[in-house]
Structure 1
Amino acid sequence: MDFLALTDFNLVARHGGFGRAARESGRPKATLSRRVADLESALDLRLFERGARTLKLTEEGRALHERTSVLLTELDETAAQIASGGGAPRGRLRVSAPLLFSQAAMGKLAAGFALKYRDVHLEVTTEDRPVDMVEEGYDLVIRVNPDPDARLVGRIFLRDRLVVVASPALARPKGTAAAPAVVRAGGAAASHSSWEVAAASGRRRIAVEPVLRLSSLFMVRDAVRAGVGTAQLPLSLVAHDLSAGRLVHWGDVEGPEIALWVLYPSRRLLSPRVSAFLDFLKEAFPAGTPDELASFID
C-alpha cells in the first residue's frame, strides 16, 4: 500500500473534501485527487461517494480511516519526539467529559494539568452524549457507566453512589405519606413515585411527589439545601453538606454504583500526552473514592 496515498486519503477524510484539505495542507487539489484515486485503484474499492457538491466516505472508506488515522498520527508524533530529542508530552489533547464531573472537578484538574505540562494544549468539551472518538477527533473520553465498545479500552478511576438527602428541617414521611422531592428533569428518579433505599435501620421504600424539576444536579442540591424537598444525589456532591449538618442522610439508593471510566482508542502504544493525562487522573484520585471528588467541590 502506498504510504503517501494513504496519508493523503486520511487528510481528505479528516477535512471532508479535496478543496478544504488542499487549503489546509497547502498541497495541490489535483495531487490529492490523484493520490486517492490511485489508492482506490490499488485496493479495488471506492473510498468516497462523490456528489456534485458533497464528498462522503463509503463504509469501506470509513473503516480504513478509523483504523489508519490513529497509526499515522502516532508515526508523526514519534518522528517529532525523536527530532526534539525526547518523549516529553506535547501537542493538542482533546478530552470529552460529562457535565456533572466537569462542573465539579474538571476546571481545577485542567488547570493543574496545564501548569504541569505547558507544552500540551488541553481542550475539554463537556457533553453527556456518546461521542465517536475517532470520527470527532478525541484523544480521551470520560464517561459514567459506559456501554462496552470493542474499539476502546480504559479503566475506572472514580466510584460514587447515590444517596437520598434532605434539609434537617424537612420531616421524614410516616407510613405511606409522600415526601416532596426535587428531581433532575429527564432523570430516572423523575419518573418514580417511590425510592428504594438502604439505611442503618434496614431497607425501606420512600413515597415521593416531585415538586420541582431542575436540569442540573448542582441546582437540585441547592434547592434541597433550601428545604424544598428531598433528592437523590451523588455522595461526592453532598459530602460537605452532610459533614456540616446542612443536609441529613435518609439512606443509600438501591442500584448499581456510579463508575467513572476514562476511555481511549484500543492500541498498544499511547502518546506521551495521553499517558500523562491518565497518570494525572490517577494522582488526583488515588483511591477513587467519593471523598476525593468531593475535595474538588466548593
Structure 2
Amino acid sequence: MHNLEHLLIFIRVAEMRSFSRAAESMGIQKGRASTVVRQLEEDLGVRLLHRTTRSVQLTEDGRSFQERARELLTDFDDLQSMFAEDGVALRGRLRVDLPTELARTTIVPALPDFMTAYPELELEMSSTDRQVDLVEEGFDCVLRLGPIGDETLIARPLGRLRMVNAASPAYLARHGTPRALEDLHRQGHRAVHYGRTLGARPYGWEYPTGEAYATLPLPGALHVNSVQTYEAAGLAGLGLIQAAFTGIHRHLESGALVEILPDLRPEPLDVSLVVAHRRNLSRRVRIFMKWIEEVLTPYLE
C-alpha cells in the first residue's frame, strides 16, 4: 500500500506538471511529493521527470513508467472491488472530459443522483470542445461527438445525437416560416454560421438527400465559434440555426425557439465514449460510462 501511494503521487505530479499543485490536490506537503518522486527515481535508477523552475515534464522513461503505473493501479482497484456490488464503496479519482454544451445542458443536471449514489468518488470533470489527449492529460475517459480521428484510441459508440433546425418566433415573424427547402432562398432566410475557426468557409445549411446529406449555401451576417453563442444568436432572432436537441429542447418546449423543416433535419452526430486502452478499465470508469449512456439514451437515435 505504501508503494502504491508513491505511484499515485508520481502520477498526479506528472499529470499536473507541478509538485506544488499536485501536493495541494492530494492534501500533502510539496516536500513530501518531491521526496517520493526522487526516491522512486533512485529505486528505479532512471530519471522520470525533467524539472525546471516553472514546471516538470516527463522523460521518455517517465512516460513508460506512468503508463505501467496506471495499469497497475487500475488492476489493484479491480482486485479490491471484484466482489463488490455496483452500488458499494466506489472510491478513488475519476477524470473525464465532456463537450461543453452537452455537459452544461444534460450531464451536469443529472449528476447529483450519480454523486449521491457514490459519495466517496472524487470526480474531476473537464469541459471543452477541443480534442484532449487522453494519455498526455491523464483522462480516464472522454465523451466525443463526431469522428474520433485517432485510431489508437478505443471508442464505444453510444448512438447518434438528434439534430434539429430552429429559429426564434420573432425571426420567423419577419421572414416567414419555411415549409420546403426552396423557401430558404425564396423567403430570403439567413443562417447563423458556426465554425471552430473564425474566418473559415461556412459549412452551409445541411439537409438529407435520400441516403446522404448535402449543404445549401445561405447568407449570414454573423459567424461564431462557440456553441453557446450560436444558440444565443438563434434565440436573439439573428438567423436560423441547426443544433443538437439536447442543447435547445428546453427552448423548444418553452416556445423561445420553434423547430422548422422537421423532415429535413441535419445529419445526427455520432456519440462515443473513448478510452486509451480496452483492457484494465477500473470499476469506477465502467460504472461512469454506463451512467453516461443511460443519461444520453433519450436523446439518441
* TM score, norm. by length of structure 1: 0.71
Whole-Å Cα distance in 1 between the matches of residues 49 and 203 of structure 2? 52
* SS state at 1:209 partner: coil
Structure 2 equivalent of residue 184 of structure 1: 194
Structure 1 equivalent of residue 60 of structure 2: 59
Displacement of 1:165 after TM fit?
A: 3.0
Q: Is the 8 A contact 1:166 1:231 kept in 2?
A: yes
Share of identical aligned residues, percent? 25
Matched, 1:209 2:219: yes
Displacement of 1:143 after TM fit?
A: 1.3
Whole-Å Cα distance in 1 between the matches of residues 218 and 155 of structure 2? 38
Structure 2 gap ranges (5+): none
Matched, 1:232 2:232: no
Task: Give the greater-gyration-radius structure (CA).
Answer: 1
Whole-Å Cα distance in 1 between the matches of residues 203 and 155 of structure 2? 36
User: Deviation per CA, 1:116-169, whole angstroms, max 9, x where unpaired?
Assistant: 222223232211122233333322211112434455323122412444333442
Structure 2 equivalent of residue 92 of structure 1: 93
Displacement of 1:248 after TM fit?
A: 3.8
Q: 1:69 to 1:233 in 2, by over 3 A?
A: same
Matched, 1:130 2:128: no
Matched, 1:71 2:54: no
Matched, 1:195 2:201: no
Q: Is the 8 A contact 2:10 2:33 kept in 1?
A: no
Whole-Å Cα distance in 1 between the matches of residues 9 and 73 of structure 2? 11
Displacement of 1:231 after TM fit?
A: 1.9
Structure 1 gap ranges (5+): 291-298
Q: Is the 8 A contact 1:9 1:36 kept in 2?
A: no
Structure 2 equivalent of residue 293 of structure 1: none
* TM score, norm. by length of structure 2: 0.70
Higher strand share: 1
Q: Which moved more, 1:68-77 or 1:241-250?
A: 241-250
Displacement of 1:217 after TM fit?
A: 3.3
Q: Is the 8 A contact 1:88 1:272 kept in 2?
A: no
Query: Which letter maps to 1:281?
Result: I
CA RMSD in angstroms, aligned pairs only: 4.3
Q: 1:248 to 1:283 in 2, by over 3 A?
A: closer
Displacement of 1:258 after TM fit?
A: 0.7
